[in-house]
Amino acid sequence: MNIETNKKKKQIAILGSTGSIGTQALQVIEEHPDLYEAYALTANNRVELLIAQARKFQPEVVVIANEEKYSELKEALSDLPIKVYAGTDAICQIVEAGPIDMVLTAMVGYAGLKPTINAIRAKKAIALANKETLVVAGELINQLAQQYRTPILPVDSEHSAVFQCLAGEVGNPIEKVILTASGGPFRTCTLEQLKSVTKTQALKHPNWEMGAKITIDSASMMNKGFEVIEAKWFGVQPSQIEVVVHPQSVIHSMVQFEDGAVKAQLGMPDMRLPIQYAFSYPDRISSSFDRLDFSQCTNLTFEQPDTKRFRNLALAYEAMYRGGNMPCIVNAANEVVVASFLKDGISFLGMSDVIEKTMERVAFIANPTYDDYVATDAEARKIAASLI
C-alpha cells in the first residue's frame, strides 16, 4: 500500500532551496506531504540551512554550488542515505534525474538559465520563480518549451496572477496585461531624496519578505521592468503591457480583454499561494495561508509609475522593444550594480546610469543563440564593473 501512495506524490526538485522562495516551497510541501515530496534540494552557499532542510525532508539528492562547502555537507549527512554533490554542473545535471516531475527554479539571477534549459530538455515541468531566465533568453526558453512540450508555470506573484486570469479564456484576445507594482520603499521620495538613499532603507520593503537582490530590484523598479519583459511571453506585444502602482499589493495583476472586461487576481502578499498553484495546477488545493479580510482592506489605490524617478523601468521597456540580446545586457549590468550597491560601492541613482551606459556599449545581436547569451552576459558584466 505504501509503495502505491509514494508513487502518486509529485517529486519536486527545488533549485535554490535556502532562499526566500525555496524555503516557502518547502512549507507548501510540508503542508501537503501526501501530494508532494522534495526529491532534490540545491543551494549556493548556505550550507547550514541546506543540512537542516536535508535532515528534515530527506531528499534523494542535495547539491551545494560552492564546492568548498562540499565536505561539510557530506560529513553532516553521512548518517543518511542522501546523495551529496557539489558544483554548478551538478545542479545542471541533477534536474535530468528520472523520478523528478517538476523543477522549481528559485535560484537568483543568470545562474538559473542553464539548469532551466536542461530541465526543459529532460521534459520536466518547470515552476519558474527565476525571472532572469525569461528576461535573458525568453525566445530560446519559449522555443525549447514548445519543442519538448514542457509546461512552464509562473511562480512570480504577478505572472501567476495573469496566468490565473487567463484560465478558461483560451482563444479570447487580450487587449492588455496590467502588472501591479507596490512602488517599493521609495514610492513617495523625490529625485533629490533618491540621491542619498541607503541599502538599509532599500532593503525595507513595505509588503513583501524577499531576498536582498529582488528587494533592491523592487526598490529601483527593475524588478517590475523584468516582469514587463517576462509578460511578453504570454503572447502579447510590448505595447500591450502596462504597469500600475498599487501600494497595497492586494491585486497581484490584471488582464483586460477586447470587450473591455478586466479580470484581476487578489490575495494576501504571500508567495506560498503562487508556489502552491504552480505545484497543483490545474487543480486548486486547500491551504492554511492567511485569507484576505475585506473589513481590513478598505482602500485600494492606483497611480501611474514615474519613469523619471525610476529610470530602470524605462530602460527595461527599451530593452523589451529592442529585443535580441538587449534584455540579457540589462540583466547582467543590473546584477553587477545591485551587488555593488549592497556593498556601498555605488549610489541608488548611479545604478541606472551604469545600466544605460552598458546598453550603449555592448554589441547588439538581433537573433542571439545560447552561446551569444553567454558571451553577452560576460561582456556586459565586464563593462558594467568598469563603469562603477
How far is 77 from 73, CA to CA, in rounded Å? 6
Average pLDDT in the 188-210 region?
87
> How much of the chain exceeds pLDDT 70, in percent?
97
**Taking all residues of the chain, what is their mean pLDDT, rounded to a whole number?**
94
Range with lowest mean pLDDT among 51-60, 225-234, 248-257 = 225-234
pLDDT at 1 exceeding the cut of 70? no
What count of other Cβ atoms lies within 10 Å of the Cβ of residue 263?
A: 17
Residue 254 β-bridge partners: 178, 264
pLDDT at 161 exceeding the cut of 50? yes
Give the model's confidence band at 362: pLDDT under 50 very low, under 70 low, under 90 confident, else very high.
very high
Q: What would the pLDDT profile of 189-199 be if each residue is shown by its tens digit?
A: 999 999 999 99
How far is 167 from 193, CA to CA, in rounded Å? 43
User: Which amino acid is present at 276?
Assistant: Q
Q: pTM score, two decimals?
A: 0.91
Taking a C-beta distance cutoff of 8 angstroms, is the pair 108, 213 a contact?
yes
pLDDT score, position 2:
45
Residue 178 β-bridge partners: 242, 254
Which residues, including other chains, have CB under 8 Å from residue 362's CB and lie 6 or more apart? 325, 329, 376, 379, 380, 383
306 CB burial (10 A radius; 0-12, 13-18, 19+): middle
pLDDT score, position 278:
97
Helix 20-31 vs helix 47-57: crossing angle, to nearest 10: 10
Residue 83 β-bridge partners: 61
When computed from its CA atoms, the radius of gyration of the chain, rounded to whole angstroms, is 21
Determine phi and psi for 176, rounding to 5 degrees.
-160, 155
pLDDT score, position 208:
67
Cell output for 225: 521592468
136-157 burial string, b = 16+ CB within 10 Å, else e? bbbbbbeebbeeeebebbbbbb
What count of other Cβ atoms lies within 10 Å of the Cβ of residue 369?
A: 12
Give the model's confidence band at 298: pLDDT under 50 very low, under 70 low, under 90 confident, else very high.
confident
pLDDT score, position 5:
46
Average pLDDT in the 70-78 region?
97
- The secondary structure of residue 112, as a DSSP letter, is G
Range with lowest mean pLDDT among 4-13, 35-44, 63-72, 226-235 = 4-13
pLDDT at 276 exceeding the cut of 70? yes
